[in-house]
Amino acid sequence: AQSVTQPDIHITVSEGASLELRCNYSYGATPYLFWYVQSPGQGLQLLLKYFSGDTLVQGIKGFEAEFKRSQSSFNLRKPSVHWSDAAEYFCAWGDGNKLVFGAGTILRVKS
Amino acid sequence: GAVVSQHPSWVICKSGTSVKIECRSLDFQATTMFWYRQFPKQSLMLMATSNEGSKATYEQGVEKDKFLINHASLTLSTLTVTSAHPEDSSFYICSARGGTSGYNEQFFGPGTRLTVL
């Protein structure tokens, strides 16, 4: 079965520091890959998505992600974190129909 | 564009009662809607997929007689939790997708917090 792994449950970074959230997927074919952000008690907002083409994807709010087929990874990055980025981040795999989500990574930002 | 709403945003009910949650696509026609369940500090788990005018397809382990899904129009899907029990307390999120071919993005509602006493 398809699975998405986010190895870090919690990450704390200082405001202004860089951020990388890890995501690995297990499926052979070229996947659709996504990063979503969820604030407490809220639904999900799409940050960015990868379907094909350029492996470095730019998203909203200054986020980017890089697809590495050899590592089955799709890590999310941001060069300088803002306090408002504190939230939970979900990586997801899609097959054109359903989405499979990772367990999520809670980002805490310290001032 | 691509706004999905859910109603109510939160609901508290007594054990044994039924609760209906609505999911609406406000500015597009949703040929497919998805219902997810999210337990505290956990990820979203897909419960079922519904196509307008068809019976919902439930994921393994989800009781279709307990979680009734109706997708009677292209802008509305409902999830009814029948004979709710405290273990059904959770955050329920719907998403909606338009189009019938190729890849189409899912747009998520804000979620409904269900608490069963």
Check residue B72 and give its pLDDT. 83
> Which residue, among B76, B59, B87, has the nearest Cα to B20 in the 3D structure?
B76
pLDDT by residue, tens only, chain B of 117 residues: 688 999 999 999 999 999 999 999 998 888 899 999 998 778 889 999 998 888 899 999 999 999 999 998 999 999 999 999 999 999 999 999 886 555 668 889 999 999 999
Q: Which two tokens stand for residue B98?
A: 């338009």
Check residue B54 and give its pLDDT. 85
Q: Which two tokens stand for residue A97?
A: 């129909």
Q: What is the DSSP letter of B56?
A: P
Whether A90 and chain B come into contact, CB under 8 Å, resolves to: yes
Check residue B102 and give its pLDDT. 57
Interface touch A43/B108, C-beta < 8 Å: yes
CA A57 to chain centre: 11
Check residue B13 and give its pLDDT. 96
Contacts with A44 from chain B: Cβ below 8 Å: 44, 93, 95, 108
CA angle (B74 as vertex; B71, B80 as ends), nearest 5: 25
Check residue A5 and give its pLDDT. 94
Whether A5 and chain B come into contact, CB under 8 Å, resolves to: no
- Closest CB to A44: pick one of B46, B49, B108: B108
Q: Which region, left, alpha or beta, applies to residue A32 given φ > 0 means left and ψ of -120 to 50 means alpha?
A: beta
Interface touch A43/B93, C-beta < 8 Å: yes
Give the model confidence (pLDDT) of A7-49 as tens digits.
999 999 999 999 999 999 987 566 789 999 998 877 889 999 9
Whether residue B93 contacts residue B38, with contact meaning beta carbons closer than 8 Å, is answered with yes
